[in-house]
Structure 1
Amino acid sequence: MRLTKLSIIIPVYNEAATVLEILNKIKSVQLIHNIKKEFVIVDDGSQDASKQLVHHFINENPTLDIQYHEHEENQGKGASIQTGISNATGEFLIIQDADLEYNPAEYNVLLQPILDDVADVVYGSRFLKKEKKRTSYFWHYNANKFLTFLSNIFSGLKLTDMETCYKLLNSEIVKKIQLSEKRFGFEPEVTAKLARIKGIRVKEVSISYESRRYNEGKKIGWKDGVRAIYCIVKYGLFRMN
């Protein structure tokens, strides 16, 4: 497949402290092979200044390819991603949180396996190899490792980081998947459903990661971990039957 445009899906919920910085970081990235960027921004009912800041960015950058969508009420990250997927027009898409934990400068690292025609889906792994990174909370790190291990049992994949935000997906493939999880259950659900597709090629590449703290706005909690286990089992069992 010839890749001409990458859709960058950006869920936003109360990210006034970082949303402008992440949008400018995305703007500054030069994609290899002159691949174009499409911003697909989805505000999920923000109650802070996020909306105003996003509109300021849009107004200041009239030449950029930007879609803006808004949920009147907060529905969850998964719901925002679903809105983004349904509206993306690029041949591939990537999910970009509006915080600063993941670095857009690494898009080209994720794109390379696609351009080399060795993958249909690329996950950016925070754990593939050890590098200097701002580490997660102890429980968060180990919960991610456990959830990935459990996901691998049900999916048959050999991932090191199922919960990563950086998932580079073939748009045609993911648009055909019926997704239902509205919150952080998106990660195990999409992984399980991708694994069902016969012949799909899933590859991981190593990425950097700068974990933020709860006082900096981190939103995921233990209830989301419990839901992830439920989703892994629920969607994984369909594959095993």
Structure 2
Amino acid sequence: MFLKKLTIIIPVYNEAATINELLHRVDAITLDKGIKKQIIIVNDFSKDNSKDEIKKFISETKNKEGIVFIDHKNNIGKGGSIKSALQKANGDYTVIQDADLELNPNEINNLLQPVLDNKADVVYGSRFINNKKQKKESILNRIANVFLTGFGNLIFGVKLTDMQTCYKLIPTSVFKSLLLIENRFAFDPEVTAKLAKNKKLRWKEVAISYNPRTKDEGKKIRWKDGFRALYSIIKYGIFK
């Protein structure tokens, strides 16, 4: 598989506590097969010191040519941030990395491996494969994830264990061609729905580690986001 550069999109909203460490960890990754990195950071009008922490990282990194910083003047949501970044993406593949350190950026190479082995075109990192030793998320969040993924599988005709995962590795040209609409958490089902319509794509899930945050630690997903995701599954899986 032709893969010389990977675009890593990092949407940021009020992540001052973790963003500097996360960016340095992403910057330090050595990708397999000499693959180069483009890191696109999108500050989605954070109200804390996230922007200052991002600027601090940019001043410290030696990889300034590989960094793109987008600073939104209004908050438009995670999906909107990813869409902004896709306009600047120039890697052969693109992966999403959350800024909260729930997922370990050192595992990005694990996502790349099925593509490098020519066994997949789209790779999702699953938090629910071989996860016995991981810190558990709340039972309500787990139930919501299982339900949304199962319903999505039924509607989209795919076989996933974790549709809502942040770690989605997708050919950049395919990602851009999806003409995505959703700006917030309904974005994830929309991506899966539109990818599923391309029957030529080969899918693969790989196990990833997961360190879920609590609401007190800054976790932003709420129950209303689950209903938005459910609406998105119906909207893009049945009516479009």
TM-score by length of 1: 0.97
Q: How does 1:1-241 map to 2 (within 5 A)?
A: 1-64=1-64, 65-238=66-239
Q: CA deviation at 1:84?
A: 1.2
Structure 1 distance, partners of 2:227, 2:21, is 32
CA deviation vs aligned residue, 1:151-187 (integer Å, no higher than 9, x gap): 0011100000000000011101111111111101111
Q: CA deviation at 1:62?
A: 4.2
Q: CA deviation at 1:238?
A: 4.0
Structure 1 distance, partners of 2:154, 2:236, is 12
CA deviation vs aligned residue, 1:28-77 (integer Å, no higher than 9, x gap): 21110011111100000011111011011111114341000011111111
Q: Is the 8 A contact 2:124 2:205 kept in 1?
A: yes
Structure 1 distance, partners of 2:42, 2:154, is 33
Structure 2 distance, partners of 1:63, 1:211, is 30
Secondary structure of 1:215's aligned partner? coil
Q: CA deviation at 1:131?
A: 3.1
Structure 2 distance, partners of 1:79, 1:231, is 15
Structure 1 distance, partners of 2:4, 2:28, is 18
Q: Is the 8 A contact 2:131 2:209 kept in 1?
A: no
Q: Match for 2:173: what amino acid?
A: E
Structure 2 distance, partners of 1:220, 1:186, is 13
Unpaired runs of 5+ residues, structure 2, are: none
Structure 2 distance, partners of 1:131, 1:165, is 20
Secondary structure of 1:9's aligned partner? strand
Q: Match for 1:205: what amino acid?
A: V
Q: Is the 8 A contact 2:93 2:171 kept in 1?
A: yes
Q: Match for 1:36: what amino acid?
A: K
Q: CA deviation at 1:134?
A: 1.2
Q: CA deviation at 1:130?
A: 3.0
Secondary structure of 1:233's aligned partner? helix
Structure 2 distance, partners of 1:63, 1:35, is 14
Which shows bigger deviation, 2-11 or 61-70?
Answer: 61-70
Secondary structure of 1:204's aligned partner? strand
> Kindly, what percent of the aligned residue pairs are identical?
52
Structure 2 distance, partners of 1:63, 1:155, is 40
After the TM superposition, list the runs of 4 or more consecutive aligned residues in structure 1 that deviate by more than 2 angstroms: none
Q: Match for 1:53: what amino acid?
A: E
Unpaired runs of 5+ residues, structure 1, are: none
Structure 1 distance, partners of 2:63, 2:10, is 18
Structure 1 distance, partners of 2:71, 2:132, is 37
Q: CA deviation at 1:198?
A: 2.4
